[in-house]
Amino acid sequence: MRKILVATVKPFAPVAIKKISKIFNKAGYELSLLEKYELKEQLLSAIADAEAAIIRSDKFDEEVFEAGKNLKIVVRAGAGYDNVDLEAASKRNIVVMNTPGQNSNAVAELAIGLAIFGLRELFSGKAGGEMRGRTLGLHGFGYVARNVFRIARAMGMKVIVYTRYSKGAAAAIGLKVTNSLEQLYEKSDIVSIHVPARGEHIKSVSYEVLQHLKDNSVIVNTARKEVINEPDLIRIMEERPGIKYMSDLTPDAEAEFVEKFPGRCFFTPKKAGAQTAEANLNAGLAAAEQIVDFFEKGDTTHQVNK
């Protein structure tokens, strides 16, 4: 019987586990659960006889792949797979997939929530601002950004975007694409970041870009901390006392941000963007179905290490 491991430091909602278990039962596979684990050794021992794994932000490095002697496929239930060492997987012929789009509405709703929290002065009692009539700049235009766009438009916002890879998709829905990242930051009241922690996006939010921000703008980050150049962000926030930073990712320099910018920054205690029952169901079930389709039909759709 194939053993499928669900290894999640941050567990799925019980309703999602119930349905994932049904999918594997029907396929004749055995489900093994490793939730809220604290030690890497627990993962190394649980992966030893698994043929497939469903993970979230769980780190799958060389050592984990080495321990997974029977492993054929790992599905990251979510979008970003920067936690998975693709090279280590590929050299062992292990397929890595993600589940694009499945948790994007949840993350988008949190991005909007963080924007409102920032605009409303962190609910401190100070007079804040409204979303309606303001310009929202989308840095990147993947699934999450498209959901943010849908919600923002309904709130009466003007939305603009900077994207290199999805210009056609943005133009098709009448969204204005700026010529540069600098122009996006210059024209936005709120910037919402939606690029992966890969390639040219790493530290792409740098001083050169940030210096173009308006005085009272809010930066919302539900993507990854690695896309921010933190010393540059701290510098601009020191120079321009109206700028705020609201993030679902804890920055490396968290203590410095908190000390220097009271009332101007907020970090969720644990990444919460995709942590809804709906997102867990969407991404968890998609991951389970992708595993069954891979074993039963050889389907490699959504493979990210081709």
Helices (H) and strands (E) in the chain, counts: 12, 12
Window 136-195: residues binding ligand 3PG (CB under 6 A): none
Residue 288 interacting with ligand 3PG (CB under 6 A): no
Residue 225 interacting with ligand 3PG (CB under 6 A): no
Least distance (Å) between residue 130 CB and ligand 3PG: 28
Window 94-113: residues binding ligand 3PG (CB under 6 A): 103
With beta carbons less than 8 A apart as the criterion, state whether 1 and 46 touch. Answer: no
Q: Which of 5, 79, 138, 157 binds ligand 3PG (CB under 6 A)?
A: 79
Q: Which of 245, 271, 292, 294 binds ligand 3PG (CB under 6 A)?
A: 271
Type of residue found at 89: A
Residue 221 interacting with ligand 3PG (CB under 6 A): no
Least distance (Å) between residue 279 CB and ligand 3PG: 8
Q: Which of 21, 32, 57, 303 binds ligand 3PG (CB under 6 A)?
A: 57
Residue 78 interacting with ligand 3PG (CB under 6 A): yes
Say how far apart CA 105 and CA 87 lie, in whole Å: 30
Residue 284 interacting with ligand 3PG (CB under 6 A): no
Least distance (Å) between residue 64 CB and ligand 3PG: 16
CA angle 236, 238, 244 (to 5 degrees): 70
Say how far apart CA 180 and CA 42 lie, in whole Å: 46
Q: Which of 273, 282, 292, 294 binds ligand 3PG (CB under 6 A)?
A: 273
Type of residue found at 93: N
Entry field: residues in the chain: 306
Residue 302 interacting with ligand 3PG (CB under 6 A): no
Say how far apart CA 43 and CA 49 lie, in whole Å: 11
Residue 80 interacting with ligand 3PG (CB under 6 A): yes
Sign for the CA dihedral angle at 8, 140, 190, 100 comes to negative
CB closer to ligand 3PG, 44 vs 272: 272
Residues 6 or more apart in contact with residue 174 via CB below 8 angstroms: none
Max CA separation in the chain (angstroms): 61
Give φ, ψ of 60 to 5 degrees.
-115, 100
CB closer to ligand 3PG, 223 vs 237: 223
Least distance (Å) between residue 269 CB and ligand 3PG: 13
Residue 286 interacting with ligand 3PG (CB under 6 A): no
Task: Write out the residues near ligand 3PG by the rule CB under 6 A.
Answer: 10, 56-57, 78-80, 103, 271, 273-275
